[in-house]
C-alpha cells in the first residue's frame, strides 16, 4: 500500500503542468491595474529624505533616454516565471518634470506613451525629441568657424539640495541656547548615463548625413546653481561641437574675389593714355559690389565680432577703389600734360609766324632803302656802291639764302619743342609715371600682406 501511494505521488509530480505567468500578473502584483494615485502623484520614494536619481542619455539625432528608480515597484522574477521587465502606460506612473532651457519651440515629434519598468524598480522612458533651440554663434571665422551649442536639462519643481534651518534647544544650568544649524534634503539628482566619449561615439554612429556641418564632439557636464541661497538646482549640460564645411563658400565666394583682384592687378599693364583702363577697373569694382550683396544674404547676423570674411571683402573693395582713384589721377595728369603740350606747340607756331612776318618786313625795308638811295641827289656817289654790291651778288646766291632761312626755321621749331618739353608738360608726364609705378608696388605689397594675415587668422 505504501509503495502504491509513493508511485502515485511520483506520477502526480511528473504530470504537473508548468506554471504560466503573464505581464498582467506582475501588474496585479504591483497594484498598477487600479486607479492608485500613490504611483503618480508624488515622488516614488518611501522616505522623503531619499533623493530620486534620474539618469539621462542624449544621442544626437537619436533618442533621449530618461531613467529613474521607483521605490514602490519591485517583484521577484522567480515568482513570475523570470519576467524582469514590463511596459506600462506612462500616465499611471510618476515622471520627472524635466525641461530644456534653450527650447524655443514646442516639440512636435510623436510621443512614446509607454515606459519600461524592471523588477528592481527602474523606470526607463525613451522619447524622440525634435529640438529647436537658441544657440549663441560666433561667426568671426566664417566660413572656417567651429560652433558649440548647449542643451541644458533641469527640473522645475525638484531641487538637488534644499537647505532648511532645524532648531535645536540646548538646556544648561543657567541658560538656554538656540542654535540654527542647516540640514540638507536632496530631492532629485541628475546623473549622465553615458560619459562624453561614449556619447560622442554613439552620436557619430547614429548620424547618417551631416550636410554643411561636421560633428566633432558631445560633452556632458553637471552644474549647480542656487536661488536665494536656499535651494541648489542640478543641471546637465550637453555641449555639441560642430565644424562648418567651408568648401562651398570658398569656391563660390572667396575664389571669385581673388580672381577679380588678380584682374585689377593685371589692369596696370594697360596703357594709361587710353580710356579702356578706367572702364575696366570700374567693371571689376561693380563685380565686387555684387559679391558684397551676396555676402549680406549668406552671412549670419548673430555675431559679437566683425566676421573676417566681411573684413576680407571690405579691405579688397577699398584697395580696388583706391586703385580706381589712382587711375583717375594718372589719367588727369596725362590729359593735362597733353593740353600743355598742345598749348606750347601753338605758341611755337604763333612765334614762328611772327618771325616770318618780321623777316618779310626786313626784306621789304631793305629793298625800299636801296630804291630810295638810288633816287637821291647823291646818286652819283651811291651808284658805284650799288653797282659794286650788284657785282658781288651773283644770280644763284638768292636760292642759297632762302635755303638757309628755311633750315633756321626748322631748327628754331625743334628747339622750341624741346624747350616746351622741359617745361610743365614734361613734368606732369614724369609725375604721372612715378605715381603709377609707386602705386603698383604699393598695391602688390598691400594685397600680399593682407591676404597672408587674413588666411593666417582663418587657419588659427
Q: How many degrees, rounded to 5, is the angle at CA 406 between CA 400 and CA 412? A: 135
324 alpha-carbon distance from chain centroid: 28
**Residues 6 or more apart whose Cβ sits within 8 Å of residue 426:** 337
Q: What are residue 158's phi and psi, to 5 degrees?
A: -105, 125
Could you give the residue ranges of the DSSP H alpha helices within 375-421? 379-392, 397-421
CB 215 within 8 A of CB 240: yes
pLDDT value of position 442:
95
For the chain, list the domains and their CATH numbers: 23-163+184-244 (2.70.170.10), 246-348+408-459 (1.20.58.390)
Cell 589692369, located at residue: 267
Average pLDDT, the chain: 75
Compute the distance between CA of residue 373 and CA of residue 151 in angstroms, rounded to an integer.
124
Can you give the pLDDT at residue 322? 94
Most confident of 346-355, 363-372, 415-424, 448-457: 448-457
The model's pLDDT over 423-449, given as tens digits with 9 standing for 90+, comes to 677 788 888 889 999 999 999 999 999
Count how many residues are written for the chain.
Answer: 460
pLDDT at 5: 42
Q: How confident is the model over 308-355, as pLDDT tens digits? A: 988 998 999 999 999 999 999 998 888 888 777 777 667 666 665 665
Least confident range from 83-92, 119-128, 162-171, 248-257: namely 162-171
Amino acid at each position: 500500500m505504501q509503495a502504491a501511494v509513493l508511485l502515485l505521488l511520483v506520477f502526480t509530480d511528473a504530470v504537473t503542468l508548468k506554471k504560466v505567468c503573464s505581464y498582467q500578473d506582475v501588474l496585479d502584483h504591483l497594484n498598477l491595474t487600479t486607479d492608485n494615485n500613490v504611483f503618480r502623484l508624488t515622488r516614488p520614494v518611501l522616505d522623503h529624505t531619499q533623493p530620486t536619481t534620474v539618469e539621462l542619455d542624449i544621442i544626437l539625432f537619436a533618442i533621449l533616454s530618461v531613467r529613474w528608480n521607483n521605490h514602490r515597484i519591485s517583484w521577484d522574477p522567480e515568482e513570475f516565471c523570470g519576467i524582469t521587465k514590463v511596459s506600462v502606460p506612462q500616465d499611471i506612473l510618476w515622471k520627472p518634470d524635466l525641461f530644456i532651457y534653450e527650447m524655443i519651440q514646442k516639440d512636435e515629434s510623436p510621443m512614446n506613451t509607454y515606459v519600461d519598468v524592471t523588477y528592481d524598480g527602474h523606470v526607463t522612458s525613451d522619447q524622440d525629441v525634435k529640438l529647436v533651440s537658441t544657440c549663441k554663434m560666433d561667426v568671426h571665422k566664417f566660413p572656417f568657424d567651429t560652433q558649440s551649442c548647449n542643451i541644458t536639462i533641469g527640473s522645475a519643481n525638484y531641487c538637488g539640495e534644499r537647505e532648511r534651518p532645524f532648531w535645536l534647544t540646548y538646556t544648561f544650568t543657567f541658560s538656554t541656547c538656540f542654535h540654527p544649524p542647516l540640514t540638507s534634503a536632496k530631492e532629485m539628482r541628475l546623473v549622465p548615463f553615458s560619459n562624453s566619449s561614449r556619447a560622442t561615439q554613439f552620436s557619430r554612429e547614429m548620424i547618417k548625413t551631416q550636410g554643411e556641418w561636421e560633428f566633432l564632439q558631445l560633452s556632458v557636464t553637471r552644474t549647480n546653481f542656487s536661488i536665494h541661497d536656499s535651494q541648489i538646482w542640478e543641471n546637465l549640460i550637453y555641449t555639441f561641437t560642430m565644424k562648418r564645411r567651408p568648401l562651398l563658400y570658398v569656391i563660390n565666394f572667396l575664389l571669385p574675389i581673388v580672381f577679380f583682384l588678380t584682374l585689377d592687378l593685371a589692369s596696370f599693364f594697360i596703357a594709361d593714355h587710353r580710356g579702356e583702363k578706367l572702364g575696366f577697373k570700374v567693371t571689376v569694382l561693380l563685380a565686387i559690389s555684387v559679391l558684397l550683396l551676396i555676402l549680406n544674404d549668406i552671412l549670419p547676423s548673430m555675431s559679437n565680432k566683425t566676421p573676417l570674411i566681411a573684413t576680407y571683402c571690405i579691405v579688397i573693395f577699398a584697395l580696388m577703389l583706391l586703385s580706381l582713384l589712382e587711375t583717375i589721377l594718372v589719367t588727369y595728369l596725362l590729359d593735362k600734360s597733353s593740353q600743355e603740350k598742345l598749348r606750347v606747340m601753338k605758341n611755337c607756331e604763333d612765334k614762328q609766324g611772327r618771325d616770318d612776318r618780321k623777316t618779310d618786313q626786313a626784306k621789304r625795308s631793305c629793298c625800299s632803302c636801296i630804291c630810295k638811295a638810288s633816287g637821291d641827289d647823291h646818286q652819283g656817289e651811291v651808284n658805284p656802291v650799288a653797282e659794286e654790291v650788284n657785282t658781288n651778288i651773283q644770280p644763284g646766291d638768292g636760292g642759297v639764302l632762302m635755303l638757309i632761312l628755311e633750315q633756321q626755321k626748322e631748327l628754331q621749331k625743334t628747339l622750341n619743342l624741346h624747350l616746351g618739353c622741359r617745361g610743365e608738360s614734361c613734368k606732369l608726364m614724369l609725375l604721372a609715371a612715378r605715381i603709377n609705378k609707386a602705386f603698383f608696388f604699393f598695391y602688390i605689397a598691400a594685397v600680399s600682406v593682407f591676404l597672408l594675415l587674413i588666411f593666417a587668422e582663418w587657419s588659427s
